[in-house]
Structure 1
Amino acid sequence: MRKLDSGQTVSFSIHQVAELDGIDLAGITAHYDSLERKMLDGFFAHVGGHRGMKYLHWNMRDINYGFAAIEHRYRVLGGEPVFIIPDENKFDLARLLIDIYGVGYTGHPRLTTLLDKNKIQPRDFLNGASEAEAFEQGNFVGLHQSTLRKVDVIANLAGRAQDRSLKTNTTWWEMHGGRMRAFVNFAAESRTFQLIAGTASIVGLVITFQPALPASVWAVVSGVFASDP
């Protein structure tokens, strides 16, 4: 967990718990369940001590890969969460980026291709297959480093999206919803367009009332717009 304002990060890992218990890396597998239970004790104690916080995540939406998976595993190990993060406090950055830029904003897998597009160095970053391999090999330190890097990456991408510096495959036209929506947005934001529209409104008003105006007045008005476009 990384605080977006300060960058301070709190992490929970098997090998850290093992170190505190005096168990070396080679002995983690033999004590895995008890170490995992202690790790999740710490996780849920931290979450319970920071109620009301909002969590930005990447695709952590279901029992296979998400907050529900962590809660389920904790119960399997005999624990019971003292506090569960409300759904309204969870924000999926993966879905938010689709909402902003459209489904084609980057290739698949989206996270890694987005890193390439924005030239963010994926140091210590492991994809799903590599993480599974690291777990099978007992490389718990590597898994921890990858997790730390991923939370850093999520914060980085969120910051770039917020300040509109994130590079994607989406064009300005596509991002603004196509012809009509783009035109409406442009009209609302463009001072030049607003000036032209205002001038056109005045001309239209003059033309509408032209028959009731004296010929001399109409000539003056026409001359103004003709000489000063």
Structure 2
Amino acid sequence: MATDVPGGTRKNRKPKTAPNPKRQKEARQSLNSLFTDRSNVWIIHYSCESFYDRPNGASPRITSLAVRSLDSAQTHSFSIHQVAERLKVPFADIKVRYDELERQMLDAYYHHLGTHRGMKYLHWNMRDINYGFAAIDHRYQVRGGTPVLIDDAKKFDLSRILIDIYGVAYIGHPRLEKLIEKNQIQPRDMMTGAQEAQAFIAGNYVGLHQSTLRKVDVLANISERAQNKQLLTNTSWWQMHGGSLRTGLAWVADNKVISLVIGVVGLAVGIYALK
């Protein structure tokens, strides 16, 4: 049973699902700015071995990375099996020569970053040393390389942008997979995180590469629907607009057409009343 606690709140109260109006507005502006400058925006994703259950503390090895232009949809990919093919390393020998192949793959990735300085990067949860830009940088340093660092101001987390726009309960978990399902996006070749970890163990580098490529396409699809206000979520219209009379009135005030119609109707009623 819920009980009163200091401050007038109650235990076990359900969390607020409506987005914060200020953060919602900022997130919308951020997303719109990316699409306005879409020729300078890349969508990025990568796959690696599992970052769980690592008792020796070693960082997870990377198997593939992809960057997709938000404007042209042209995609640059970097993967272990492609490097092996160029070096004429037999597929069966990839595991024993992984360190060398990973270094060359990351060399190519950072060369791409270096020739496209100042670009913006739209990603999904790539936020820390566990999984993210810092994790890739660290892995390159482990292999003896010097990473090209991306300014944090140039990194945009689509997962957080969507939370700010639609509220924390806008979709179930895992959010990316649930969004794909709700919006009927075809997830061909795409693996979940757990499936990617198993694919790494099995040496399915081609499958991991295809999954990475598919994910940057999916993120482009989702971001475009969100920017066009066509993304389907579990958030109701009422929740999206604050769920309050005050927010409703503010929305009416911001909508010039609705305000004009209401003004005309009000004027007509006033004139009729004076007759």
Which amino acid in the other structure matches residue 104 of structure 1? A
Question: Which residue is 2:68 aligned to?
Answer: 2
Deviates more, 1:111-120 or 1:17-26: 17-26
Instruction: Check conservation: 2:129, 2:135, Cα contact below 8 A.
Output: yes
Q: How far apart are the structure 2 equivalents of 1:192 and 1:177?
A: 18
**Runs of 4+ displaced beyond 2 Å:** 190-200, 224-228
CA, structure 1 residues 183+65, in 2 after alignment: closer, same or farther (shift >3 Å)? same
Question: Which residue is 2:153 aligned to?
Answer: 88
Q: How far apart are the structure 1 equivalents of 2:257 and 2:132?
A: 46
Relative to the length of structure 1, the TM-score reads: 0.85
Sequence identity percentage: 59
Superposition deviation, residue 193 in structure 1: 3.6
Which amino acid in the other structure matches residue 100 of structure 2? S
What runs of 5+ residues in structure 1 fail to find an aligned partner?
204-221
2:272 to 210, 225, 229: 225
Superposition deviation, residue 178 in structure 1: 1.8
Query: Secondary structure, in 3 states, of the residue corresponding to 2:70?
Result: coil
Deviations 1:4-55 (A, max 9, x none): 1111000010000000000122110010000000000000010011001000
Instruction: Check conservation: 2:84, 2:101, Cα contact below 8 A.
Output: yes
Question: Which residue is 1:208 aligned to?
Answer: none
2:195 to 130, 135, 139: 130
Q: CA RMSD in A?
A: 1.9
Question: Which residue is 2:224 aligned to?
Answer: 159
Q: How far apart are the structure 1 equivalents of 2:262 and 2:193?
A: 54
CA, structure 1 residues 50+192, in 2 after alignment: closer, same or farther (shift >3 Å)? closer
Q: How far apart are the structure 2 equivalents of 1:198 and 1:187?
A: 14
Superposition deviation, residue 227 in structure 1: 7.2
Superposition deviation, residue 198 in structure 1: 7.1
Q: Which protein has the larger Cα radius of gyration, Structure 1 or Structure 2?
A: 1
Instruction: Check conservation: 1:188, 1:194, Cα contact below 8 A.
Output: no
What runs of 5+ residues in structure 2 fail to find an aligned partner?
1-66
Superposition deviation, residue 182 in structure 1: 2.8
Which amino acid in the other structure matches residue 20 of structure 1? R
Which amino acid in the other structure matches residue 51 of structure 1? R
Q: Which structure dedicates a bigger proportion of its chain to strand?
A: 2
Query: Secondary structure, in 3 states, of the residue corresponding to 2:160?
Result: helix
Deviations 1:87-113 (A, max 9, x none): 000000000000111111110000000
Relative to the length of structure 2, the TM-score reads: 0.71
Superposition deviation, residue 164 in structure 1: 1.2
Q: Which structure dedicates a bigger proportion of its chain to helix?
A: 1
1:108-119 → structure 2 map (5 Å cutoff): 108-119=173-184
Question: Which residue is 2:100 aligned to?
Answer: 34
Whose relative contact order is higher, 1 or 2, with alpha carbons under 8 Å and at least 6 apart? 2
Superposition deviation, residue 76 in structure 1: 0.5
Deviations 1:160-204 (A, max 9, x none): 11111111111111111121223311232153444434776x79x
